[in-house]
Amino acid sequence: MFRRLFCLLMFMCLTAFCPQALASEYDEVFVIVHTNDVHGYIDIEPYVKALADDMKARYGEKNVLTVSAGDVFAGGNAVAHLYKGETIPPIMEAAGYDILVPGNNDIIPGRDQLLSLAGMFGHTKVLCANMFDLSSPDRMVFDGTMITETEGGVKIGLFGLTTKLALLEKEFAITDTISGARSAVSSLQDAGCAVIVGVGHTGWNDDLVTPSANDVTSAEVVRAVPGIDVFVDAHSHSVINEGRGWICPETGTLVNQASCKGACAGVITIYIRDGAAVEKTAELLTLEELKARYMPDPGVLALVNAAWDRLAGDMGEKYALTPYYLNGLRTAESVDGRSVRTDETNLGDLVADFLRDYSAADVAMVPGVLIRGSIDAGDIYTLNLYDVFALGCPLYVYEMSGEDLLLEMASSLSELPYESPVFRQISGASFGYLPAYTLSEDGDKVFTIIDPMVGGEKLDPKKIYTVAIGEILETPEGMEPLMTTMEEAAAAMGDYLETGEAVFLPDVVLPAGRITPMEAIPEGALVYQVELDSGE
């Protein structure tokens, strides 16, 4: 139901993946099988179990752990979020997961539901060292750490972290990520752990720079906190160094992540000699490679098939037919690097058009982060719209001057080229921009907005426009939304599609030319220099 950029790493042979030749040089080998950001794309789980079982047969039951770094209950395929995550714990239990760290999307079913889902696990342990109860800030919601031992008696300490984002912070007290890691590592060292593994829903950037829309990246954590041997990452849907991971030069920590949406499973191998980790390696296996190598675990496969069968019975109403693939991808999933959180896409245009029609506003803007799934060419059902609006779509209508609308346009660009919650798709308006911003004397970002148009006419800074905006980070005080939930948004967009007024555009760069990066300012263009202060 979507396109995926599978991990690029290919393995020449089985011995290239399983380091038996090296194992004899060490006392023990400890293996971590890991996934992250599966988001309901559960087809990988029978193979995760098969992979882990193979590793256990090679190195011993105690020397293999299966770990999820979060975002399993919502935020992607409706097989998870339509049922408020309840299909997922039985599958993860059967697949043998030892640890789950909650991700930011795992709060979507609600605080009480997240706690209920965690309570459905038997063997799987939920870890998070920086998540506390809002009413009792000294009380951790879940255990922060866990200790296990290898077959040879070496203590392995593990801890979990999640990111400080608004969705989670509405329901829990999320403390500083680095402080949480530092405290967890110290306690595990005091307990005599010789090897320490962090599992964090934190995020990665290839240039090792943290965008302001995130808390801190995994690179920031491991640079600041010595003593972590391995860090299993998540949140950014990344493939790091073609799946081989990154070794922090300051601390020697190995960081790796396994893409997203069931595209890959990761294997981190820790070589232990004289009771300490002396070498670490990381690899990824694509779902296709797993299928070629292993038979799916029959028990997990039966649960996965039952979940898909249940979903097939809940497709809902058929609303329209799209001749084109409608692109709601993130950068890491995209073949050409375009992202609904950084670029205009055809699905972004369609959703923004629907919101403008629904609100009767002059302009509609929708954050790319609210568009949670793509739609394949063909019939569009209720279920497809559930995937798109998995977070719901809280929609508010404002009256604002053209000058304020320019600020909204510039704000949408403020974190580029990084993905962020502030980038918005747009309808009823268009503008060009220079990708490079300048800095004011006060150090604020100044963006060049070129030929802004509203309703086919040049934007008037003094005119008052009605602007419908999908909000994700905060709720405007004293305002009631036109819609909020996934079900409301899907039903309303279904009605819009049935009118036959929707315009389906091909999946190309700049499908409608609404948000256009430019290399230079065209001659005769109308140009605005828009300054964003730290509060914008």
pLDDT digits (tens, 9 = 90+) for 277-319: 999 999 999 999 999 999 999 999 999 999 999 998 999 999 9
In this model, does residue 168 exceed pLDDT 90? Answer: no
| Predicted local confidence at residue 473, as pLDDT | 67
> pLDDT category, 15, cuts 50, 70, 90?
very low
What CATH architecture is 25-309?
A: 4-Layer Sandwich (3.60)
Q: How confident is the model at residue 22 (pLDDT cuts 50, 70, 90)?
A: low
Predicted TM-score (pTM) of this structure: 0.85
Is 352 within 8 Å of 425 (Cβ atoms)? Answer: yes
CATH 3.90.780.10 residue window(s) in the chain: 316-532
Q: Residue 492 is inside which H or E element, if any? A: helix 486-498
CA–CA dist 520, 17 (Å, integer): 48
Report H helices in 96-241: 111-119, 166-169, 177-190, 218-224
Mean local confidence (pLDDT), 99-128: 94
pLDDT at position 11 is 35
- 67 neighbors 33 (Cβ within 8 angstroms): yes
| pLDDT at 5 exceeding the cut of 50 | no
The strand pair at 172-174 and 445-454 is best described as unpaired
Q: What is the DSSP letter of 332?
A: G
> Cβ distance 28 to 151 under 8 Å?
yes
Chain centroid offset of residue 396 CA: 25
- Confidence at 406, pLDDT banded by 50, 70, 90: very high
Integer Rg of the chain from CA: 24
Residue 487, exposed/middle/buried by CB under 10 A (0-12, 13-18, 19+)? middle
Stretch among 97-101, 474-478, 480-484 having the lowest mean pLDDT: 474-478
Torsion of CA 405, 407, 412, 413, to 10 degrees: 130
What pLDDT is stored for residue 1 in this prediction? Answer: 39
The answer regarding whether domain 316-532 maps to CATH 3.90.780.10 reads yes
Tens-place pLDDT, residues 37-71: 999 999 999 999 999 999 999 999 999 999 999 99
77: pLDDT strictly greater than 90: no
Q: Is 352 left (phi over 0), alpha (psi -120 to 50) or beta?
A: alpha
* Contact present, 227 and 238 (Cβ < 8 Å): no
Which residues make up the CATH 3.60.21.10 domain(s) of the chain? 25-309
pLDDT of residue 4: 36
Average pLDDT over residues 265-271: 97
For 511-535, what is each residue's pLDDT tens digit?
Answer: 999 999 999 999 999 999 999 986 5
How would residue 210 be classed by pLDDT, with cut points 50, 70 and 90?
low
Percent of the chain with pLDDT over 90: 79
The beta-carbon contacts of 414-418 under 8 Å, at least 24 apart in sequence, are 414/445, 414/447, 414/532, 414/536, 415/211, 415/212, 415/213, 416/342, 417/342, 418/205, 418/211, 418/213, 418/342
Quick one: pLDDT at residue 190?
A: 97
- Say yes or no to pLDDT of 124 above 90: yes
What DSSP designation does 479 have? Answer: -
Percentage of residues in the chain having pLDDT higher than 70: 93
Give me 356's structure tokens. Answer: 């403008």
Write the single-letter amino acid at 534: S
| Other CB atoms within 10 Å distance of the CB of residue 522 | 11
Query: 295 or 236: whose pLDDT is higher?
Result: 295
Mean pLDDT of the chain: 91
Banded model confidence at residue 7, pLDDT cuts 50, 70, 90:
very low
SS3 273: strand
Tokens of 498: 């049935």
- Rounded to whole angstroms, the Cα distance separating 140 from 172 reads 10
